[in-house]
């Protein structure tokens, strides 16, 4: 049975997911859309030739019998209300990050889901669906490198625009590492410290760039994460896990090797949107498949959204204080225990 999906927010990311579900994936169909800009919503229906109703707002869309699941792709501050409404209506929810703009907001979603008694919500942390991270996860879980002791990673963009602020290095950029790394090592963050290296001349006057974030976990694993959003040379995601018996590292993006003009090498991506295309496809296909097969999503949970929010808050506090800040989550609720997405390598 095809999953009927309503999309709340038809901006860039919303349209991208509509294209994906309509043209690339199997088992889902866009049946409803809404946007604060109703004309934009209508245009999208036309653009993709959708057999979909345009609703005036998220509430009426969520209430529709033609909607089994909602995609929340509106702007961040609107996420929480749509997700809460979705849970109340017992609809499945795929919510782009952030789940809510505050840790409290995330926690209230977690509580609502717990009250409902079953998972409905998946958060759009797509890196867990990236083939490279999946291979790292498999290597760690199979004890290939023994106990993980350290992670060294980097998140680099060629450049950001003037509006990008120092805290966005956490909330917009590092947020992906925050999610994927605790999943990778199956551990909780316990503290964080931020160091500012010499600033690049390519950063705007108000922005600290690069930054070095040192996270520690409950088991004592130390994560050294570099954020460098004006690195000039490319969009580059690095991750190396150092264990007791060996090391595993993300592959470079597969690209033809050239020998030309006294150089041997590969071309790097400049555009972040190219980096996780397959992962975006796979996260949505998994959302659709899991609901169709198991009656609930199995991807990143509301609790993961809450963890990301709490950790990001501590990171921003550490940016400002210069000191080590502790991170406390409270106990993981029963509903979210023993979740483990198990992929098989492609």
**Which of residues 206, 232, 273, 337 is near a second copy by CB under 8 A?**
232
Does residue number 294 form part of the binding site for a second copy (CB under 8 A)? no
Among 100, 94, 157, 104, smallest CA distance to 129 is for 94
Which residue's structure tokens are 């225990």?
337
Among 67, 111, 57, 114, smallest CA distance to 89 is for 67
Does residue number 278 form part of the binding site for a second copy (CB under 8 A)? yes
Residue 307: φ, ψ to 5° = -60, -45
* Interface positions, 327-346, toward a second copy (CB under 8 A): 345-346
Spatial strand order of the sheet with 28-34 comes to 53-55, 28-34, 3-8, 69-72, 92-95, 121-123
Does residue number 268 form part of the binding site for a second copy (CB under 8 A)? yes
Which residues have C-beta within 8 Å of that of residue 223, sequence separation ≥ 6?
A: 150, 151, 152, 153, 177, 181, 213, 214, 215, 216, 217
Does residue number 102 form part of the binding site for a second copy (CB under 8 A)? no
For a second copy, the closer of residues 53 and 253 by Cβ is 253
Shortest Cβ 288–a second copy spacing (Å): 10
Does residue number 262 form part of the binding site for a second copy (CB under 8 A)? yes
Distance CA 176, CA 153 (A): 12
Does residue number 242 form part of the binding site for a second copy (CB under 8 A)? yes
**Which of residues 77, 197, 337, 340 is near a second copy by CB under 8 A?**
197
Strand 121-123 vs strand 92-95: parallel, antiparallel, or unpaired? Answer: parallel
Shortest Cβ 341–a second copy spacing (Å): 17
- DSSP 8-state assignment for residue 344: -
Distance CA 96, CA 72 (A): 6
For residue 33, the surrounding DSSP H or E stretch is: strand 28-34
**Which of residues 44, 71, 136, 309 is near a second copy by CB under 8 A?**
136
Tokens of 141: 């879980």
* Interface positions, 144-163, toward a second copy (CB under 8 A): 144-150, 152
Distance CA 283, CA 291 (A): 12
**Which of residues 228, 287, 303, 306 is near a second copy by CB under 8 A?**
228
Residue 319 and residue 194 in contact, taking contact as beta carbons nearer than 8 Å: yes
**Which of residues 13, 36, 247, 341 is near a second copy by CB under 8 A?**
247
Does residue number 139 form part of the binding site for a second copy (CB under 8 A)? yes
Q: Which of these segments, 7-15, 65-73, 121-129, 264-272, binds a second copy (CB under 8 A)?
A: 264-272
For a second copy, the closer of residues 111 and 138 by Cβ is 138
**Which of residues 22, 66, 102, 165 is near a second copy by CB under 8 A?**
22
Q: Which of these segments, 82-90, 107-115, 176-184, 212-220, binds a second copy (CB under 8 A)?
A: 212-220
């Amino acid at each position: 049975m095809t999953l009927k999906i309503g999309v709340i927010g038809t901006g860039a990311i919303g349209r991208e997911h509509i294209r994906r579900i309509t043209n690339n994936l199997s088992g889902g169909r866009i049946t409803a859309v809404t946007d604060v800009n109703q004309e934009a919503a209508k245009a999208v229906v036309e653009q993709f030739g959708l057999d979909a109703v345009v609703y005036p707002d998220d509430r009426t869309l969520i209430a529709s019998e033609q909607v089994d699941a909602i995609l929340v792709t509106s702007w961040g501050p609107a996420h929480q209300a749509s997700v809460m409404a979705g849970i109340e209506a017992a609809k499945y929810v795929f919510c782009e990050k952030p789940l809510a703009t505050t840790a409290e907001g995330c926690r209230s979603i977690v509580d609502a889901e717990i009250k409902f008694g079953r998972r409905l919500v998946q958060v759009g942390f797509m890196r867990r669906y990236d083939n490279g991270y999946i291979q790292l996860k498999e290597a760690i879980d199979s004890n290939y490198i023994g106990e993980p002791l350290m992670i060294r990673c980097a998140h680099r963009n060629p450049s950001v625009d003037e509006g990008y602020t120092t805290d966005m290095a956490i909330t917009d950029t590092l947020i992906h590492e925050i999610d994927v790394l605790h999943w990778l090592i199956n551990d909780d963050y316990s503290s964080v410290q931020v160091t500012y290296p010499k600033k690049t001349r390519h950063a705007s006057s108000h922005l600290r760039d690069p930054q070095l974030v040192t996270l520690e976990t409950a088991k004592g694993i130390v994560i050294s994460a570099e954020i460098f959003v004006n690195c000039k040379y490319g969009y580059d995601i690095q991750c190396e896990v150092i264990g007791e018996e060996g090391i595993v590292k993300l592959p470079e993006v597969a690209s033809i090797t050239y020998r030309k003009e006294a150089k041997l090498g590969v071309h790097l991506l400049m555009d972040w949107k190219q980096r996780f295309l397959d992962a975006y496809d796979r996260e949505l296909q998994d959302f659709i498949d899991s609901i169709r097969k198991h009656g609930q999503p199995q991807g990143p949970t509301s609790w993961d959204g809450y963890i990301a929010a709490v950790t990001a808050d501590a990171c921003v506090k550490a940016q400002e204080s210069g000191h080590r800040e502790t991170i406390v989550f409270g106990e993981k609720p029963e509903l979210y225990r023993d979740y483990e997405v198990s992929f098989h390598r492609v």
